[in-house]
Amino acid sequence: MPAPAERSESPETPPTFDLGTFVVLPENRSAVRAVRSVARAAGLGKRAPTSPLVLHGPPGSGKSHLCRAALAALMRASPGVVVRSESAGDLARPDVLAEGTGFGDRGLFTCDALVLEDVQHLPERAADGVCELLDHRTRHRAATVVTTATSPAELAALPKRLTSRLVAGLTVRLDPLGVAGRRKVLATAAQARNLRLTPDALDWLANRVGGLRPALGALQNLAHVAPGYPGPLDAATVERTLAETGQPTSGSATVDAIIKRVIAAFGITERALLGPSRLRNVLVPRQVAMYLARELVGLSLPRIGAAFGRDHTTVLHACRKIEDAVKQDAALDSRVRQLRGELG
């Protein structure tokens, strides 16, 4: 099987990587440095300093955004590169892992830069193919970035033969964004959408709307109504507008608040709730949290799924399971009622 193609760019003129609207923050600075280093090597046709590079962090920490920004920057700086980005959930399809198929003229084995997203969702039947893929790219030190919700050592649902290959690479954690980080991201996103917000409106969004992803969703809704206002939107207008459209406000439960309340009630950790475990003592609280998020926050299924690192069909299944379970299980019904009351 051929190696990724070598190119002849001069090492004296390394490509410049403009990450566009991606905001570099203390929570992600180490990951940004590592991704830039790997991408620069791909742009110069050189061997990557590490392969694979594994980025891990909870949903909303910016892993996917960073990878997309880096691939876009790489293609701008070096137009001849072949890049690929695949969701691990799609790797069960035999055509995706096949050499020379899919997007462009080179497959996953020989493209210049590869991103495998959300490896915690990898189907077990695809594990051998991914092991072969990682072995090939590691031998040639080809630029390979893998993202996951937890560290490779904690991916208990994946076979050891795969997690050992991930552990062998460089592992970098992205921490959840604090209020200051969320505010900077929201300010950048608002500017990109030509949405004018007063400082108190940005403060309100960063502090009150549950997590970064719901806040960005709220920002998108605000961009639709902003042309109807003569000046910047202040905090009171933002809160009123979101309430009118069914989005979370200061008086509503948030996904973050629901997660914190559920893990306290069931005696598990947030890492376990958002991780890959399918054990009943983790699965049921996760489904309860999704059910309450759907009922109390009013976000769409895809937005709730994004907050939990799942797709919308998983959220729908969870909601239906809990709806049925509370009719049969008096103890669970009582606990869900109590949580609903505590969350308002």
Residues 155 and 344: their CA atoms lie apart, in Å, by 35
pLDDT for residue 166: 95
Contact 140, 113 (CB under 8 A): no
Contact 206, 25 (CB under 8 A): no
Q: Where are the domains of the chain?
A: 29-173, 179-244, 255-343
Residues 106 and 109: their CA atoms lie apart, in Å, by 8
Orientation of helix 199-208 relative to helix 212-225, angle to 10°: 140
pTM (predicted TM-score): 0.67
Q: 255-343 architecture in CATH? A: Orthogonal Bundle (1.10)
pLDDT for residue 263: 92
Output the DSSP codes for 306-340: HHHT--HHHHHHHHHHHHHHHHH-HHHHHHHHHHH
Residues with Cβ within 8 Å of residue 103, at least 6 apart in sequence: 84
For residue range 281-317, list pLDDT tens digits in order: 999 999 999 999 887 776 778 888 888 988 888 898 9
Terminal CA-CA length for the chain: 59
How much is the average pLDDT of 92-106?
54
Two structure tokens written together for 49: 């300093």
More confident residue, 325 or 230: 325
pLDDT for residue 4: 58
More confident residue, 88 or 284: 284
Kindly compute the dihedral angle of the four CA atoms of residues 213, 20, 34, 159, in this order, to the nearest 10 degrees.
Answer: 40
Rg of the chain in Å (alpha carbons): 22
158-162, 240-244, 306-310, 326-330, range with greatest mean pLDDT: 158-162
Two structure tokens written together for 344: 């308002």
Lowest mean pLDDT among 65-69, 106-110, 146-150, 200-204: 106-110
Question: Mean pLDDT over all residues of the chain?
Answer: 84
Two structure tokens written together for 175: 């921490």
231: DSSP letter: S
- Phi first, then psi, for residue 267 (nearest 5°) are 70, 40
Residues with Cβ within 8 Å of residue 268, at least 6 apart in sequence: 281, 282, 285
How much is the average pLDDT of 138-162?
90
For residue range 234-274, list pLDDT tens digits in order: 988 888 887 776 555 544 568 888 998 899 889 899 889 99
Predicted confidence (pLDDT) at residue 10 exceeds the cutoff of 60:
no
- Residue 19 confidence class, pLDDT cut points 50, 70, 90: confident
Amino acid identity of residue 335, one-letter, is R
- Phi first, then psi, for residue 307 (nearest 5°) are -65, -25
Choosing among 1.10.8.60, 3.20.20.10, 1.10.10.10, 3.30.1540.10, the CATH entry for 179-244 is 1.10.8.60
145: DSSP letter: E
Choosing among 3.40.630.30, 3.50.50.60, 3.40.50.300, 3.40.50.620, the CATH entry for 29-173 is 3.40.50.300
For residue range 187-242, list pLDDT tens digits in order: 999 998 889 999 999 998 887 655 676 777 778 778 887 887 888 999 888 888 87
pLDDT for residue 246: 55
How much is the average pLDDT of 13-37?
86
Q: How far is CA 260 from CA 195, 256, 267, in A?
A: 31, 6, 10
